Amino acid sequence: MLTYLPHLEGYFRSRFDVLKLSLASLFANTSLPYDLLVFDNGSCAPVVEYLTRLKSEGRINFLLLSGTNIGKIGAFRLLFGAAPGNVVAYADDDIFFYPGWLEAHLEILDAYPKVGMVSGSPVRDAADRARSSLYRFIDENRVGLSVSQKRQIPDQWEIDWAVSVGRDPQAYLESTLDQPDLILTYRGVEAFGSASHFQFVAPKEVILRAVPEEWSGKLMGDMIQLDEAVDGLGYLRLSTVERTTRHLGNTISPDVIEDARAVGRQLDAIPAAGRPGKHWMVRLPGSRRLLTKIYDSLFRLLHNVD
Are residues 268 and 133 located together in one domain of the fold? yes
Are residues 226 and 290 located together in one domain of the fold? no
The proportion of the chain whose per-residue pLDDT surpasses 70, expressed as a percent, equals 84
- Give, in degrees to the nearest 5, the angle at Cα 197 between 304 and 6: 25
- How large is the C-alpha radius of gyration of the chain? 19
Task: Quick: pLDDT tens for 64-114.
Answer: 999 999 988 889 989 999 999 999 999 999 999 999 999 999 999 999 999
Predicted local confidence at residue 295, as pLDDT: 53
CATH for 12: 3.90.550.10
Which structural domain range is residue 196 located in?
2-275
Predicted local confidence at residue 143, as pLDDT: 86
Are residues 167 and 302 located together in one domain of the fold? no
Task: Quick: pLDDT tens for 245-272.
Answer: 999 999 888 888 888 888 777 665 444 4
Are residues 200 and 296 located together in one domain of the fold? no
Q: Are 104 and 244 in contact (CB under 8 A)?
A: yes
Are residues 181 and 292 located together in one domain of the fold? no
String of DSSP letters for 153-215: S-HHHHHHHHHHTT--HHHHHHHTTT--EEEEEETTEEEES---TTEEEEEHHHHHHHS-SS-
Predicted local confidence at residue 253, as pLDDT: 83
Are residues 151 and 285 located together in one domain of the fold? no
Are residues 21 and 87 located together in one domain of the fold? yes
Are residues 254 and 231 located together in one domain of the fold? yes
Task: Quick: pLDDT tens for 187-231.
Answer: 999 999 999 999 999 999 999 999 987 655 555 556 788 999 999
Q: Picking from 116-120, 187-191, 302-306, which range would have the lowest pLDDT averaged per residue?
A: 302-306
Band the pLDDT of 146: cuts 50, 70, 90. very high
Domain count, the chain: 2
Are residues 165 and 304 located together in one domain of the fold? no
Are residues 269 and 127 located together in one domain of the fold? yes
Are residues 156 and 242 located together in one domain of the fold? yes
State which amino acid sits at residue 183.
I
- Give, in degrees to the nearest 5, the angle at Cα 25 between 193 and 158: 35
Which helix (H) or strand (E) segment holds residue 40: the answer is strand 37-40
What's the sign of the alpha-carbon dihedral 186, 187, 188, 191?
A: negative
Band the pLDDT of 305: cuts 50, 70, 90. very low
CA atoms within 13 A on the CB side of 143: 0
pTM of the model: 0.85
Predicted local confidence at residue 39, as pLDDT: 97
Predicted local confidence at residue 217, as pLDDT: 56
Are residues 40 and 91 located together in one domain of the fold? yes
Task: Count Cβ atoms below 10 Å from residue 220 Cβ, excluding itself.
Answer: 14
Phi/psi zone of residue 100: left (φ > 0), alpha (ψ -120 to 50 degrees), beta? left
